[in-house]
Structure 1
């Protein structure tokens, strides 16, 4: 089933033949997975304002429909919703086939699906761990597989993976999420190497720190506590703008785009003192959980059933995030330098 605001087949709309170059941002054909909420929804609207032709994917057709309509209202040349579970490789194949059937080509493929399960590793159901890895890693792999086959045939195209800083820094009580992001980072590195002989085919990563999206409230929670991070959070629209910038024809195609003030210092700190940074993150998380209010029961969240909402924001940003981010970054970097200096002595 497809939910479409694009012209029907047989109308005056004629898809561009495969191999033809996109005439610019307004002519781009963009596939976005995880498009129904959070970063994916914000990214869809950002491309819509450029006049792109959008093919939007998520598990729930009821959430795709209003997003597709909003994209049309925002200026998209076309907006098509295709219910897709990215853990199903055949479903992702059908998603790509639908995009090609309607538009004749794909210029940009954005892998934006992301789920999580928070809880101590051995107290989190194994099925939840598996589902996180299937969605975050295999879901991206399935998308990359169909996208790069098409890009190699055309000799052009841009694949964008949403990784997060979790691909470089460990997240205690989110072991499967960390494993999936570290794996996704390796996947992107390998794919960049494979297409290095194709000057117009690009594999780009966007790695934000914590984002104020509904992902945390939609995700699985086995901690017994309400999850309300007291840390600086990014606006999902800033992440969306970074994705759109990477997709611009003729624009810079950075291998990794970092977002968030703590990303750089955090990577430096982890390189200098990985155990110290891990222990600090565990301490911060433990402290936050102790002060959080209890919740009545564990929740699988949206791991096995799609979310119902389409909101972009998680509603947790605070006015003093900028100052907090600077202090947090300096604290992490200072700890790492102190541990490193002590070891040198």
Structure 2
């Protein structure tokens, strides 16, 4: 990564969903550049392990804060701990996202509601808390982690896609309001990845009857690099990688065709998965498994593909 995309040493960054996947990878990358990372998630023991890993390497420092983003009191405490320790917040990364996979009507309504509680309401709590702090200090960058689903709806992920569409709309509205308020020092960016091989798929609730999978998954590193770069150069709508950019462009030009193709791919992928029982995953309670950046989904898919 070029030096122009590196954060300054001592930059204070809050990262939610930091115990696995994109959040964990971003925390490690930013700490290596000398940032102070305040890492938030529900799994306190995993946060402690990540803190030790960061502390043992050259670079910045890590402060763990157990946080359920669907609880506004937790989110407020996360900001309070950060400001008390470092005096400010330079970047806030709203990274937490949970999913419920399957046909919409097969997924219990409570699971749909939980997806909205975490992915949308939790993100609103984070954005409100961050912007309040940014306005008091006159600057700051809010990064919301959306999905290509923010632009292109996807079958078998209806409430997840709806929540991610709302994330992009919220970011756009916030930038409008910041311009109207003359808050030139505050920026809001939204990262839109393609399907990424992280433990998200293992943690998702799943009512599809098959192991979760998606065609041509991206390596998490390209998204981590994009998030790190956006800390200093945020964009309101930033598709990451060739597949996300192509899908985003296609949906603007041929929306109906793009959605039909997207649905066909999703249906085909579900059929290739091995049979598994229904599960709520980690959407209500954390799971012990899935504490790495890479989810191992591509390796599992290779094995499944040999069975067809």
Match of 1:72 in 2: 55
What does 1:43-54 align with in structure 2 at a 5 Å threshold? 43-54=26-37
What does 1:12-161 align with in structure 2 at a 5 Å threshold? 25-161=8-144
Q: State the 1:65 CA deviation.
A: 0.8
- Distance (whole Å) between structure 1 residues aligned to residue 150 and residue 28 of structure 2: 26
Instruction: Choose 34-43 or 77-86, whichever is displaced more.
Output: 77-86
Match of 1:5 in 2: none
TM-score by length of 1: 0.81
Q: State the 1:275 CA deviation.
A: 2.7
SS at match of 2:285: coil
Match of 1:203 in 2: 188
Match of 1:262 in 2: 243
Q: State the 1:74 CA deviation.
A: 3.1
Identify the match of residue 279 of structure 1 among 216, 236, 260: 260
Instruction: Choose 118-127 or 258-267, whichever is displaced more.
Output: 258-267
Identify the match of residue 232 of structure 1 among 212, 216, 221: 216
Residues 208 and 259 of structure 1 are in contact (CA less than 8 Å); yes or no, is this contact kept in structure 2? Answer: yes
SS at match of 1:289: helix
SS at match of 2:97: coil
Residues 87 and 139 of structure 1 are in contact (CA less than 8 Å); yes or no, is this contact kept in structure 2? Answer: yes
Match of 1:16 in 2: none
- Distance (whole Å) between structure 2 residues aligned to residue 52 and residue 218 of structure 1: 28
Residues 33 and 112 of structure 1 are in contact (CA less than 8 Å); yes or no, is this contact kept in structure 2? Answer: yes
Residues 206 and 281 of structure 2 are in contact (CA less than 8 Å); yes or no, is this contact kept in structure 1? Answer: yes
Residues 67 and 310 of structure 1 are in contact (CA less than 8 Å); yes or no, is this contact kept in structure 2? Answer: no
SS at match of 1:25: coil
Distance 1:223 1:253, change over 3 A: closer
Distance 1:262 1:310, change over 3 A: same
Identify the match of residue 220 of structure 1 among 183, 187, 205: 205
Residues 167 and 185 of structure 1 are in contact (CA less than 8 Å); yes or no, is this contact kept in structure 2? Answer: yes
- Distance (whole Å) between structure 1 residues aligned to residue 115 and residue 251 of structure 2: 24
- Distance (whole Å) between structure 2 residues aligned to residue 169 and residue 244 of structure 1: 24
Identify the match of residue 146 of structure 2 among 143, 149, 163: 163
Q: State the 1:233 CA deviation.
A: 1.9
- Distance (whole Å) between structure 2 residues aligned to residue 78 and residue 264 of structure 1: 34
Q: State the 1:301 CA deviation.
A: 0.3
| 1:298 pairs with 2:281 | no
Residues 45 and 74 of structure 1 are in contact (CA less than 8 Å); yes or no, is this contact kept in structure 2? Answer: no
TM-score by length of 2: 0.90
Structure 2: segments with no counterpart, 5+ residues: 1-6, 300-308
SS at match of 2:297: coil
Structure 1: segments with no counterpart, 5+ residues: 1-23, 319-345
> Which digits, 9 at most, give the CA deviation of each residue in 1:36-59, with x for residues without a partner?
000000000011101111111001
Match of 2:292 in 1: 311
Match of 1:9 in 2: none
Distance 1:85 1:262, change over 3 A: same
Residues 155 and 267 of structure 2 are in contact (CA less than 8 Å); yes or no, is this contact kept in structure 1? Answer: no
Larger Rg: 1
> Which digits, 9 at most, give the CA deviation of each residue in 1:109-147, with x for residues without a partner?
011101101010011000110111111111111111111
Aligned residue pair count: 291
Q: State the 1:70 CA deviation.
A: 1.4
Instruction: Choose 259-268 or 46-55, whichever is displaced more.
Output: 259-268
